[in-house]
Amino acid sequence: MDFLAGLRELPLHPGARGLEDDCAVLQFGNEALIINHDMMAEDTHFLPHADMSDVAWKLVALNLSDLAAKGAEPLGVLLGHTLGGDDSSFLSGLNEVLAVYDVPLLGGDTISSTGASTFGLTAIGRATHLPVPSRRGAKVGDSLYVTGPIGRAMLGFEGKEAHRDAFNRPQPRLAEGRALAPIVSAMMDISDGLLLDAWRMASINEVTLRLDTEAIPVAEPKRFDECIRWGDDYELLFAVPPKVDVPVEAVRIGEFEPKGNAPLILGQTPLNSPDSLGYSHG
């Protein structure tokens, strides 16, 4: 059995949203807590020679990006840390990113390991708008937007100086997420590739999403296909109903149509399977 499918067979809290979203939402009266947990592993999410200050930054940033997609205000983080690497450098990067985003450390745990280093972080935030946005909610006639260019992380990974920080130290779109929360019908962050994440949004909403290839902003137009599949961009992908003004800088890249033969259409090409659209965790 697929592991994620197996998890969905377990007793789930309503706030888990069926494990279809990146965050849990725990509502208390007129307030809601947003909780997310993400992990990073050596050789999968970062190279053995990576600067550990960058690893710490990215660990926090990718968790805050999930909070951004819920329009949340971060309250604090819990750290799971594998000792034995360049712990001093990790602490330096952790201090930097927590200071930049004004997010306090709440606690966590440390372990020693003889294997590859693994780090985990739980981010806790407060909803700034109810209902809290989710991947569900997009309807026929809604437009799809993205907050910034796709493919910068790929170029940074390859060593392109102008894009190094896009891979090593991504910037979660927290302010944009809070501004968008009241007006979006669906929202998520792009972590596994624009195509795959767009396919997921279309599939969960049981509609067809048509992407305009001419409109999608990419960091390297000559490598358009790679840019929209590579991932690690952490831009916000969101649906907006007709005649609603978008309060942040963003590009309209598609429209939701009645459900057809494929969840996603790239230009004129129907995409029926998520295989090869981006990075899948299995």
- Over residues 84-118, the pLDDT tens digits come to 889 999 999 999 999 999 999 999 999 988 777 88
Reply yes or no on whether the pLDDT at 162 is more than 90: yes
Reply yes or no on whether the pLDDT at 281 is more than 50: no
Q: What CATH number is given for 143-271 in this structure? A: 3.90.650.10
pLDDT, residue 13, reads: 73
- Rounded to 5°, angle at Cα 39 from 80 and 152: 130
Structure tokens at 140: 């026929």
Q: Are 56 and 97 in contact (CB under 8 A)?
A: yes
In which residue ranges of the chain is CATH 3.30.1330.10 found? 3-127
Average pLDDT, the chain: 92
pLDDT, residue 96, reads: 98
Chain centroid offset of residue 280 CA: 13
CATH number 3.50.50.60 given to 3-127: no
Mean pLDDT across the stretch 49-57? 94
In which residue ranges of the chain is CATH 3.90.650.10 found? 143-271
pLDDT, residue 41, reads: 86
Reply yes or no on whether the pLDDT at 282 is more than 60: no
pTM: 0.93
Dihedral sign, Cα of residue 18, residue 281, residue 100, residue 150: negative
pLDDT, residue 15, reads: 74
Burial class (CB in 10 A: 0-12, 13-18, 19+), 273: exposed
Which residue type does 134 have? S
Q: Are 278 and 191 in contact (CB under 8 A)?
A: no
pLDDT, residue 61, reads: 97
Per-residue pLDDT tens over the stretch 25-47: 999 889 999 999 999 988 777 87
